[in-house]
A = this chain, B = another copy of it.
Amino acid sequence: MERNTRGHRLISSTTNPLIKRARSLRDKKYRRQEGAFLAEGLRILAEARDAGYLPQQIFYADGQPLHPLAEDVIAAAAARGGEIIATSRDVLAKLSGKDNPQALVGIFAEHALPISALTAADAPLWLVAQAMRDPGNLGTLLRSGDAVAAGGVILIDDCVDPFSVECVRASMGAIFTQKIAVCRWAEFTQWRARQHAQLVAMTLSDDSVDYRAAAFTTPVLLMVGNEAQGLPDAYADAADIRVKLPMLGRADSLNAAVSVSILAYHVRDRLDAASFNRA
């Protein structure tokens, strides 16, 4: 086995089985088989470490100085039994699908939870996405969840895979700071029946109220539907309250992830004000 001057295994061929395996994780089928996913970039790998996640493998570009933070992340991964692999920028470009790849690529174990592992009372707010299809939207949703200190994101029905390269990238590290549960609607409703939580549906239906007129009580489960179809009526009807954002313009709706983010900040604000009044 070839090693570089740091003593790390050195692989420069894109046909090496470890490289081919890593690259295969760009494909959902292989992610499911392996229970693992790719995350790229020093910032995201450092966020992962800070959140308690270390990669099973790290690939880095050999022959160029490493950022001190990259040294830290590599040392932390190695100390927990992670495999460190020095490689070329060409191989990194192959793994990341970008001509100008990040300096580090990590392989992590997927950390999706069953809904039964969540306790709504652990956080004031949770985001719930139903059949969200765009990886950039889901990444943005995770990022906004992190910004409002949501407990996590619950994915109902056929959502895009949160561990896709595009979603992980758009999440800017929030894939590691948010709990992620994946379930069907029936499982969600069973779980909800055992929680004391307020289910808030975002919907433009006739009986939904302006978000500023709604009263929120913790913990709030903030639910948004598919980008094109919105929530199914039965899902909106099952919620405790239905709210809408006023649309003052001519195009008919905000981006789904943006809508949830606007409402999430409003809910945090209302809840903060309520706890301030109580204190």
Residues of A within 8 A of B (CB): 47, 50-51, 136, 140, 143-149, 170-174, 177, 212, 245, 247-251, 253-255, 257-258, 261-262, 265-266, 268-269
Contact = CB atoms under 8 A, between A and B. Distances in A.
Interface of A is mostly: helix
Contacts of A262: 261-262, 265
How many copies are assembled? Answer: 2
Contacts of A258: 140, 143-144, 257-258, 261
A262 B265 CA distance: 7
A257 to B, nearest CB: 7
Contact of A143 (B144, B172, B248, B251): B251
Given A212-B269, A269-B212, A254 B261 contact: yes
17 contacts: A47-B250, A143-B254, A144-B258, A145-B249, A147-B253, A147-B254, A170-B255, A172-B251, A172-B255, A173-B250, A177-B251, A245-B265, A254-B261, A257-B258, A258-B258, A261-B262, A265-B266
Given A261-B261, A262-B261, A262-B265, A149 B249 contact: yes
Contacts of A247: 147
A157 B5 CA distance: 45
A147 B177 contact: no
A147 B251 CA distance: 7
B245 A147 contact: yes
